[in-house]
Chains A and B, each alone.
Chain A
Amino acid sequence: MRLDYKSIWQKYGTLGIFILLVIILGILSPQYFLTVNNLIQVALQGAITIIIALGEFFTILIAGIDLSVGSVVALTGMITAKMMVAGVPVFWAVLIGGVLVGGILGAINGSLVNITNLHPFIITLGTQAIFRGITLIISDARPVFGFPKSFTEGLAGWLGPIPIPVLIAIAMALILNFITTKTKFGRNVYALGGNSQAAWFSGINIKLHTLMVFIISGICSGIAGVVMTARLGAAEPLAGIGFETFAIASAIIGGASFFGGKGKVSGVFVGGLIISVINNGLNILNVETYYQQVVMGALIIGAVAFDKLLATRKG
């Protein structure tokens, strides 16, 4: 019997890293890290990353990418804030400014990919700047604040001991997990990511699926945008800068493959938690926040390189 390291890694690798990190940090800093308060903090800090990463995961699943997630977070947050300040009821502001606008921004990404046939990297690199620019234009580069309590407490408050953003992340993970594992749409997305030519020759409507995938990514970022605005109590025009790095890192560390067609929602969820644990750990160990970027970048490269190493090594 030969141990199949590859499949063990694919099944339990992400979870293993997570547990290992928790153990290491628990040993290094038992008095701070392993407190209930801190662990809840880890989950809370991870929630927004996870919500964005779940959408990012769909675009990576079709061998694409979405670099515009950070800008979508800012723009949806800003539009929602402006609507509430203008007197639109919270429910409608969140639904339209967050979910609907997020979906529309995603649809713009997806349509541009479909129309131009360019790689999503190029399209979302462009829309990332465009969405950011629009955010700055409509806000005049100034933050917007002064929201009803129902907004800040409804989206960023607590339900008993658990922060609501964490519940939102869990709910979204459950919904998206259902989509990827139980629906024909989800199966088609994996097929498209695994071999787009074969998908085309099997009758899968590639453009429709691509569009849907980017709409999902947009909606996720839109929801993250309103949750973040609620948490901060303000819509910042420069919010979400660099979030794509965290989202991509979560998805890749969570087992998604840049080559498409591989990965699981549960993995991405744990991947997001890993990112949060690392950030939290670096804070506790008094490492300056600037180093977190360095660690994130190194992690992305390391995870992809390791994935490739496993993929190419045989027998």
Chain B
Amino acid sequence: MGLLVEMKNISKEFSGVKVLKNVNFELFEGEVHVLLGENGAGKSTLMKILTGIYEPTAGSIIINGKEYSKLSPKEAKENGISIIYQELSVIDALSIEENIFVGNLPTKKFLNLSIIDYEKLREKAKNILKEVGLNKDPRILVEELSISEKQLVEIAKALAQDAKIIIMDEPTSSLTMEETRNLFNIVNRLKKKNVGIIYISHKLKEIFEIGDRVTVLRDGEYIGTKEVKDVNEVMLINMMVGRELKSKYFDSTHTYLKKTEVIFEVKNLTRADKKVQNVSFKLYKGEILGFAGLIGAGRSELMNAIFGTAKISSGEIYLFGNRIFIDHPYAALKKGIALVPENRREMGFFPNFDIKQNISIIPFLKTSRFYGIWGLIDKNKEKRYATEQKKYLNIKCSSINQNIIELSGGNQQKVVIAKWLAANSNIIIFDEPTKGIDVGAKSEIYTIMRKLVEEGKGIIVVSSELPELLLLCDRIVVFKDGQIQAIFTSEEATEEKIMAAAALGGQRGREVL
């Protein structure tokens, strides 16, 4: 197997701050090399150097025996380096074939003008689509495709450019299990064609499924490269965080305590748009209740219905035994029900606010009349809310006056949680609370959740990461087609049982196992 690229002693400084220190990285033909590290470890910077976006401060890159002190984006492309970003860069308004060959469309002469040769384009596109296993008419618009299909178009585009090296940045973060499996099949096919793949991921489990070797970075430093078969999850986590994870909540052996006091109950809830049907469940005091299911099963839709961001057509909700009516998030907020939404950047925080303003908005709303409009801002309270939460949640920031966009993803998430805690919420719904957050911050969020239930609050967690649910939850509800399929206690629950119920439904799921 030939060496595709070698990055030697790469360092990079941004205005005096070292973000990469003597990092080594190499990629062979037909290998999947996983690049692992917490957010801010330097993975993206290293890849931006490889794709020619950044110039390294020191070090060299050797491709095809030629040594470069830096690459231009053009040189990177000419050397067959191609990157598939997490936020896909396909053009929705163009067809599949146009997307694949954009910037390099085959042409023919017509009345002495160069025009697009659609026949040739279609033929070439069909061949490439076959390679990536996308069974679609190349003429249809990309906007009609699902996220995973768009990703395949991106891979096809890389292949069309004759990519020898494909960098995949968190490729499975928005994919379902089945789509992930399909992606892995394609990755394996690419390997056979001697394409080298650099695979960036947070999901440790995937590394063992798809990776050949793994390189770990931490705080810009090169920690080491290992054969995947020689390591296990714990070793990788230790390499990433450089310390034994202290959190006792990180082992998956916590026991199910029988809880007795029901603090929140949903009875026969059906959404007006039928995305959630006839759902009933109880939440006990001090309990973490998990919601498992495939993407699109209707879990977020259920939470939105409870929280008042979606209309319900029938059903009842009880808080501390009293029936409550929630037709708007403001009503939920007033009752002490919180929702930490799925996508913090889009739904969670205010980028134009500093930390204290972000945190105080909810308590201010809660303590004012007329839909939160009435009343004056109390600067002392604002400061107090923020200071208390900063301490309680261990928000890492230079001060509470720092703008939230300067924080890391994990700390941003803590601020989103903080604004609900500052308003003394009793029922806290977390929707994918650790999405895109590094391992260290993840375990901190778990610790926070444990701390909250120990104080007698009730927590509902929606998560697509089964290990997360298994280690956190007292009980796990499995959702499919907008309905509850099964409820397992932490003692009963296994990944197999949950997956069977999530994929096949409660009845079939039990039969299979």
Residues on A facing B (Cβ under 8 Å):
2, 181-188, 190-191, 193-195, 197-205, 208-209, 212, 260-262, 315
Contacts and interface: CB of A to CB of B under 8 A. Distances in A.
Sort A-B residue pairs by CB-CB distance and give the 7 closest, nearest first: A194-B352, A203-B333, A261-B352, A203-B330, A203-B329, A194-B350, A205-B371
Interface stretch (B99-107, B200-208, B248-256, B341-349): B341-349
A259 to B, nearest CB: 9
Contacts, number: 98
Contacts of A186: 377
A144 to B, nearest CB: 38
A195 B329 contact: no
Nearest to B337: A203
B356 to A, nearest CB: 11
A315 B14 contact: yes
B309 A202 contact: no
A48 to B, nearest CB: 29
B513 to A, nearest CB: 38
A260 B372 CA distance: 20
25 contacts: A181-B377, A182-B376, A183-B375, A184-B373, A184-B374, A186-B377, A190-B353, A191-B350, A194-B352, A195-B349, A195-B350, A198-B350, A201-B309, A201-B347, A202-B333, A202-B361, A202-B362, A203-B330, A203-B333, A203-B372, A204-B330, A204-B372, A208-B373, A261-B351, A262-B352
B376 A184 contact: yes
Nearest to B333: A203
Interface residues of B, number: 35
Given A184-B364, A194-B352, A194-B353, 7 more contacts: A182-B377, A187-B377, A188-B372, A203-B372, A205-B328, A205-B330, A261-B352
Contact of B377 (A183, A193, A205): A183
A203 B364 contact: no
A195 B345 CA distance: 9
Nearest to B369: A184
A190 B352 contact: yes
A212 B373 contact: yes
Contacts of B270: none
Q: Which of B307, B352, B357, B365 has the most CB of A within 10 A?
A: B352
Contacts of B361: 187-188, 191, 202, 204
Contact of A184 (B14, B15, B328, B365): B365
A190 B361 CA distance: 11
Given A187-B361, A203-B362, A315-B14, A198 B349 contact: yes
A184 B375 contact: yes
Contacts of A198: 346-350
Contacts of A199: 350
